[in-house]
């Protein structure tokens, strides 16, 4: 498979990227990033790009891929308000999905959302993510992933609170609806891509089930 990934400099995306590079099923990984990656791998092709609403300068990134794993995101605590959060969460994802459909019409689109996402939620972040899920499913039959606590690789961009709490996340590991290792999230996404899964919303327990199946643990 050829995989296109967004958000590879983040904690979740960095873990998904490592799972992709480690998988013998993946021949090439293309990463669209704002800044160069420190990671070097013969499978990896990096596209440094600044405008996540317009991909006309990097159309090659979207051509001939099997799946796009959209792991780009931001905490609601790191933005000025709903307008900025919606632009990054919703508008960036929809622009990427449309570019993927133009460059690789048969490819699948996978969006990392979050546990608790709901269109009618009273929480802004959950409502925006819920609306994004709804629009992506309507637009490209996306698979929307709702992980709970992600135990991913450290990231410079993650909120300081996440860095402090990460060791505590592991106390949740026995609870299949509350915790997921970052690379297990990546393995689950790759299995879903191989199986051409479309138009689904996957909760944390579903994700762990897929990861177990990917690793032959069931």
pLDDT score at 161: 65
For residue 113, give its domain range.
Answer: 2-214
CATH number of the domain enclosing 11: 3.40.50.720
Chain Cα centroid distance, residue 57: 22
pTM: 0.93
In tens, the pLDDT along 159-173 reads 666 666 667 777 778
Strand partners, 13: none
**Cα gap 80→3, rounded to integer Å:** 32
In tens, the pLDDT along 25-67 reads 999 999 999 999 988 999 999 999 999 999 999 999 999 999 9
pLDDT score at 153: 80
pLDDT score at 41: 95
pLDDT score at 2: 98
Per-position DSSP letters for 42-111, written without gaps between them: TTEEEEE-S-TT--GGGGGGGTT-SEEEE-----GGGSSSHHHHHIIIIIHHHHHHHHHHHH-TT-EEEE
Contacts of 175 (CB under 8 A, 6+ apart): none
Q: Which helix (H) or strand (E) holds 189?
A: helix 182-194
Residues of the chain with pLDDT under 50: none
Say whether 212 sits in a helix, a strand or coil: helix
**Cα gap 161→183, rounded to integer Å:** 21
Please count the structural domains in the chain: 1
**Cα gap 186→198, rounded to integer Å:** 17
């Amino acid at each position: 498979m050829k995989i296109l990934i967004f958000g590879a400099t983040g904690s979740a995306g960095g873990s998904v990227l490592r799972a992709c590079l480690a998988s013998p099923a993946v021949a090439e990984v293309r990463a669209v990033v704002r800044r160069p990656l420190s990671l070097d791998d013969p499978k990896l092709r990096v596209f440094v790009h600044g405008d996540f609403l317009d991909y006309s300068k990097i159309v090659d990134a979207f051509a001939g891929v099997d799946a796009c794993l959209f792991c780009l995101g931001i905490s609601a605590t790191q933005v000025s308000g709903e307008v900025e959060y919606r632009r990054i969460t919703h508008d960036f994802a929809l622009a990427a999905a449309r570019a993927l459909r133009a460059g690789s019409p048969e490819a699948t689109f996978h969006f990392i959302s979050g546990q608790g996402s709901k269109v009618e939620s009273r929480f802004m972040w959950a409502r925006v993510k819920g609306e994004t899920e709804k629009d992506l499913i309507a637009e490209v039959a996306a698979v929307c992933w709702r992980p709970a606590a992600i135990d991913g690789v450290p990231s410079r961009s993650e909120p300081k609170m996440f860095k402090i709490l990460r060791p505590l996340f592991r106390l949740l590991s026995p609870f299949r609806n509350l915790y997921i290792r970052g690379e297990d999230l990546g393995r689950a996404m790759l299995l879903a891509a191989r199986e051409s899964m479309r138009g689904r919303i996957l909760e944390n327990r579903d994700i762990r089930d897929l990861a177990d199946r990917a690793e032959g643990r069931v």
